[in-house]
Structure 1
Amino acid sequence: MKSGGRTFSIPAFSVIQDKLGISIVKGGTSSQKADIVLDIENHDVQKENEGFGIKSYLGSKPTLLNASGNTNFIFEVVGLSQNKIDGINAINTRTKLKDKIHEIYQSGAELKFDKIEKETMAYNLSLVDSLIPSLIAKMLLEFFVQRTSNLSENLTNVFHSGHTFDTDLAALEVKVKRLLVSVLLGFFAGTKWDGNYVSNGTIVVKEDGEQVGFHIIDKSELENYLFENIKFDTPSTTRHRYGSLIRESNGKVYFKLNLQLRF
């Protein structure tokens, strides 16, 4: 199970399956949020045919938001001398992203958030909250420069560095939590979202096989779980084409960072 693969077989289960008369139909794609449909009942609620996603730690750690070309954030590099570009791009250390950004700052330049590369992703994030694109851009910089992967610590650092967005820290935390639930139950980065959830909850399978279920009816518990457990991650720079200085024909210089969120 811990070999890092996405799937594994359980031969003995076929015996149980036959005895119980269960028919297993393989289905589902990466373009859906619900992996299983369940009836749920407790002392507060009774519901039928509720779609749940499944996030499992039995293999590699699951992702909340997969990296792709859709999740690139573009920053304009302001004040960088043209003769610095090749030298910075040539940095190939183990911590090359952090080192490249450090060298940009050391050169007297700064990174200003310009836009999200794909309009669909920009639309989806803005639908969650109009501040989310700019807020996540600041948090991405905090992650890649300071390696602050924990969302709570990252957001606190961003806020206390002067990026308050004319509100308080508690309000920013609410916005980030809203984003996490929207990604989990609502939108895909490459598809325009209508604002509706297409799954009603998620089931987390822990490393020891224990299962924990979260339903949208208790949204605050789900939000808190995600905020405490989701972290920024570093995807491949070559695969997703980010992390290098790009000089455009208009003379401006840009730098991309990629957003990936993992449990």
Structure 2
Amino acid sequence: MMKGNKGEWTEIYTFLKLLGEGKLYSADEDLEKIEDIYYPILKIFREADNRNYELNDVVKIINSDSKEVIKEISISNFLEQSEILLEKIKKASGSSFGFPEIERYMKSIDCNTLKSKSGNKRDITIKIHDKFTNSNPKLGFSIKSKLGGNSTLFNASKRTNFLYKLKGCSFSEKEIKEINSIKYKKDKIKRIEQNCEIIYYDMCDERFKSNLQVIDSRLPEIMANMVFKYYKTSGLTRINDLTAELKNENPCGYVSEDHNFYEYKIKNFLIDAALGMTSASIWDGEFDATGGYIVVKEDGEILCYHLYNYNKFKSYLYNNTRLEASSTNKYDYADIFKKEDEFFIKFNLQVRFTD
């Protein structure tokens, strides 16, 4: 049986729904439909299944190698199945589950895989008609679901740890053990700062550091200050609020008060994270999700942020994301450690969408 979480099943829902509706609507910065901006869908590609699904009066299922039409299916059939799947996703519980009825239907349309290739930001590949350029581009979109819990925009790992030096203090082994046993990170930071200053020292992974520097040379320092501010301050989690704090404190010492240095750089990080940049792979600035973002709302409505709506997309990400603390045991951070005669602590970066 095929099993997946709500996000993975949402990819199948999106595939079926778009074939049934035949168009992809754009969203504004508040994730509301823009009625007069949409893209007619010409074809959806399922590379893992070696099938193309071409929309006309019916949906033609085509072998992507031989170009042979294998079968033709009514468009309304896809819409009906998407509505059935939507209700099942909404009612499902647990971390992984299957829907035998949906699986049987998927196999009947030669759709035998649940998820796109691991590691891609691109979850679905669509050929659309672009009325602005009168062209028919083949574009990759990342899919984010609001049907389950809030999705992550940028995943945590040991690579996303930032290293901070404890300046001006010396702790005994007993004191380190005592401080490290403090449960809440904000209390731990408060205890440390009674004796010393916590300052950004370096990033723990050179590849991720270089990826951030590709976006902006000062971005490692900016993100480190944001991460530390999040762990230190109660109730301050949203990216836009944290960025406002950075602007006020100006840790990079920018001279002009009229330029939104921090907001601009943070937005660029969010865009790159959304469309291709990870901590693990070398970032060359080439988007994997070449079309943009598809968001599936709580009621099942599907909207997109096409890269033509770049500014709306940036605003949406900036106003609808937050930092989140990941597992300290899994990612090895938030404990003091000693290296030679100096003391350090690490804090971790993870970005998740807000409610």
TM-score (norm 1): 0.89
Residue 242 in 1 paired to residue 329 in 2? no
2:270 partner amino acid: L
Q: Paired residue for 1:174?
A: 264
Please state whether the residue corresponding to 2:193 is helix, strand or coil: helix
Q: Paired residue for 1:44?
A: 132
2:274 partner amino acid: L
Residue 163 in 1 paired to residue 251 in 2? yes
Q: Which has the higher contact order (CA 8 A, sep 6+)?
A: 1
2:299 equivalent among 196, 199, 208: 208
Contact 1:52 1:199 in 2 (8 A): yes
Q: Paired residue for 2:165?
A: 76
Deviation at 1:199, TM superposition (A): 1.2
Q: Paired residue for 1:138?
A: 225
Q: CA 1:257–1:177 in 2, change beyond 3 Å: closer, same or farther?
A: same
Unaligned 5+ segments in structure 1 are none
Deviation at 1:202, TM superposition (A): 1.2
CA distance in 1 between partners of 2:155 and 2:140 (Å) = 21
1:90 equivalent among 157, 181, 195: 181
Q: Paired residue for 1:110?
A: 197
Deviation at 1:224, TM superposition (A): 0.7
Deviation at 1:172, TM superposition (A): 1.4
Larger Rg: 2
CA distance in 1 between partners of 2:266 and 2:273 (Å) = 11
1:166-188 deviations in whole A, cap 9, x for unaligned? 15461211111110111111222
2:127 partner amino acid: D
1:68-126 deviations in whole A, cap 9, x for unaligned? 0110000011112313423211212xxx111111111122x111111110111001011
CA distance in 2 between partners of 1:241 and 1:15 (Å) = 43
Q: Paired residue for 2:153?
A: 64
CA distance in 2 between partners of 1:228 and 1:4 (Å) = 29
CA distance in 2 between partners of 1:66 and 1:113 (Å) = 21
Q: CA 1:8–1:225 in 2, change beyond 3 Å: closer, same or farther?
A: farther
Please state whether the residue corresponding to 1:106 is helix, strand or coil: coil
Contact 2:170 2:343 in 1 (8 A): no
1:125 equivalent among 188, 205, 212: 212
Please state whether the residue corresponding to 1:159 is helix, strand or coil: helix
TM-score (norm 2): 0.67
Sequence identity percentage: 30
CA distance in 1 between partners of 2:180 and 2:297 (Å) = 40
What do you get for the CA RMSD once the two structures are aligned? 2.1
The count of residues paired between Structure 1 and Structure 2 equals 256
Contact 1:76 1:114 in 2 (8 A): yes
Residue 189 in 1 paired to residue 279 in 2? yes
Q: Paired residue for 2:116?
A: 28
